[in-house]
Structures are given as C-alpha cells and as structure tokens.
Amino acid sequence: MNTHAYPVTRTDAEWRARLTPEQYAVMRNHGTERPGSCALLYEKRAGTFYCVGCDQPLFESKLKFESGTGWPSFNDPVAGSIETTVDRSYGMVRTECHCARCGSHLGHVFEDGPPPTGLRYCINGVALRFAPAA
C-alpha cells in the first residue's frame, strides 16, 4: 500500500471486519481475483459501480465494456474517484488504479481500450458494489 493519506482510513482489524477474505486480499494486499469469477463481469444494467471499501462512486455502467479479459472493464472513471501509481511487481511495469478516497487497490489501467479514451480500466469485481439506476 502506498503511504499517501486518504480521507477514509481504517485499522487493519476494521478492514478485515468490513471486507470478505477475498476482498481483503485484493483491495488491501494488491491481489487479483480469478478471471471470469465475478458476477459483475456480466452486469449490463444502467447504474453505478462503487468502491466496496468506502462507497465512493467509481464507474458509470454506460462506460463499461466487454474486453474479453475476464474482469470488468471501463473506459473512464467518475472524475476524481481513481488515483494511479506505478506498479513494478511481477517483473513488469503497469499502472495500478486505487480508490482516491480509501486507497484500496482496484486493478490496473491499460492503453488498449476503445475510443474515445483509448483506456481500459481493468478492475477486480470483488472491489466493486453495483447499484442499479432508480
């Protein structure tokens, strides 16, 4: 985890109480869920995807697309909701995405997405909560 101060902070015990073991492994220890394992991959209704760690709105469903990677993918986040850092793990250089409010690891962003942004936010579904539009 980076050392940046976030508006929402919790102790390790509070994170463990709030998150499932899989969510904790992904969001607090920079893990990755198995591709194709999350039901949100198939979510097609209008609505908003929120951070499980702090309820920050992260992505609107209209910007979700099928990337064929096995993880929910989006063109663009809600303005100001995502921050990025350089991830040099596993012998490669990637851009990590984390929640700007609580710092939880969400996934990575790649420059191989569709127009208009050309970006693909590849997000672990266990880090998201979906709320359908009213």
Annotated domain spans of the chain:
35-132
User: Among this protein's residues, is 102 annotated catalytic?
Assistant: no
Catalytic-role residue among 38, 51, 54, 122: 122
Tens of pLDDT along the chain (134 residues) come to 456 789 999 999 999 999 999 999 999 999 999 999 999 999 999 999 999 999 999 999 999 999 999 999 999 999 999 999 998 887 888 999 999 999 999 999 999 999 989 999 999 999 999 999 98
Superfamily of domain 35-132: Peptide methionine sulfoxide reductase. (2.170.150.20)
SS3 label, residue 65: strand
pTM of structure: 0.93
